[in-house]
């Protein structure tokens, strides 16, 4: 599903932040990405939707190298990915429904199919009755669930989550992780960057551990 082969990343003003990373994530796997602040977790995730490109090495997605994918093909790659962020990144002037519909509208889905899929995604995260609300009228946990509905609405084959519970209290964090576990049980592949070692320890999943840009465990 996903493979990194000797991947390094250098930023002009930070030097090398990832060094020689190699690992494979199998279809249907759920894995965590951990490490201290600045270890390179976000950078590693950004190399998959090509928000950043590697300096050296290869990233393969579904068996194909993606590092040199032309810019015009990047949207097609991103349609296969679901991205979830710590700060939710919702549009505050649009309703819950419209936020979740966004990826489908960009991909050109018709109105009926969009509505059907949006409601199915909201149902999965337990927010069907709040589709007309605006994000700021929701709790942090609910806002993150909108972010998750938006990430799954187009049925991505891989979900990438960057500190998805970073702004949530322990109870809500556990709920979000449970939701991920449910997705995984129906075959979705997930890679989740997290600081929350206590929460992660409850899951029997692989832990890819980064230390100063190197993969020191789980590779
Ligand atoms: N766009 C950028 N330009 C220059 N340096 C960057 C850029 N993005 C990240 N860095 C640097 O790369 C290193 C790794 O950052 P990254 O955000 O990947 O780490 P992280 O493990 O996700 O950290 P955190 O847990 O604090 O989010 C840091 O030293 C950071 O300052």
DSSP 167-194: TS-HHHHHHHHHHHHHHHHTT-EEEEE-
Model confidence at 83, pLDDT cuts 50, 70, 90, reads very high
Check which CATH number belongs to the domain holding 77 and give it. Answer: 3.40.50.300
Host domain of residue 69 = 2-217
Checking if the pLDDT of 217 tops 90, the result is no
How many distinct structural domains can be found in the chain?
1
What per-residue confidence (pLDDT) applies to 94? 97
Q: Whose CA is nearest to atom 16 of ligand 1?
A: 40
Per-chain mean pLDDT for the chain: 95
Q: Is the pLDDT of residue 126 over 90?
A: yes
Q: Show the beta-strand stretches assigned E in 26-153.
A: 30-35, 56-61, 64-65, 81-85
Nearest residue to 100 via CA among 73, 45, 49, 138: 138
**Which residues have CB under 6 Å of ligand 1?**
11, 13-14, 17, 35, 37-43
Contact yes or no for 127/142 (Cβ under 8 A):
yes
Residue 112 has pLDDT above 90, yes or no: yes
In 3D, which of 190, 179, 168 has the Cα closest to residue 127?
Answer: 179
- In sequence order, the 6+-apart residues with CB closer than 8 A to the CB of 75 are 106
Q: How far is the CA of 43 from the centre of ligand 1 (A)?
A: 6
At 183-195, the pLDDT tens digits run 999 999 999 999 8
| Residue of minimum CA distance from atom 5 in ligand 1 | 14
Q: pLDDT at position 219, please?
A: 81
Give percent of the chain with pLDDT exceeding 90.
92
Please determine, for the modelled complex, whether the ipTM score is greater than 0.85.
yes
In this prediction, residues 128-136 reach a mean pLDDT of 97
Q: Which residues pair with 30 in a beta bridge?
A: 190
Q: What is the largest CA-CA distance in the chain?
A: 49
1 C-alpha to center of ligand 1: Å?
25
pTM: 0.94
Residue with tokens 């190197």: 214
Helix, strand, coil % in the chain, rounded to nearest 5: 35, 25, 35
Ligand 1 pocket test: pick from 41, 163, 195 the residue with the most ligand atoms within 8 Å of its Cβ.
Answer: 41
């Amino acid at each position: 599903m996903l493979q990194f082969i000797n991947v390094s990343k250098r930023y002009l003003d930070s030097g090398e932040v990832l060094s020689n990373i190699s690992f494979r994530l199998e279809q249907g796997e759920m894995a965590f990405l951990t490490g201290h602040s600045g270890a390179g977790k976000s950078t590693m995730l950004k190399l998959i939707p090509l928000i950043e490109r590697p300096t050296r090495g290869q990233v393969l997605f579904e068996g194909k190298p993606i590092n040199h994918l032309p810019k015009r093909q990047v949207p097609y790659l991103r349609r296969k990915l679901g991205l979830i962020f710590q700060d939710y990144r919702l549009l505050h002037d649009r309703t819950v429904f419209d936020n979740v519909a966004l990826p489908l509208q960009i991909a050109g889905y018709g109105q009926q199919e969009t509505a059907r899929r949006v409601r199915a995604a909201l149902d999965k995260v337990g927010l069907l009755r709040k589709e007309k609300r605006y994000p700021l009228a929701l709790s942090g946990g609910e806002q993150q669930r909108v972010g998750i509905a938006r990430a799954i609405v187009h049925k991505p084959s891989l979900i990438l989550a960057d500190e998805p519970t970073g702004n949530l209290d322990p109870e809500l964090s556990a709920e979000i992780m449970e939701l991920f576990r449910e997705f995984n049980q129906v075959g979705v592949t997930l890679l989740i960057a997290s600081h929350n070692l206590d929460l992660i320890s409850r899951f029997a999943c692989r832990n890819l551990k980064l230390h100063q840009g190197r993969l020191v465990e789980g590779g």
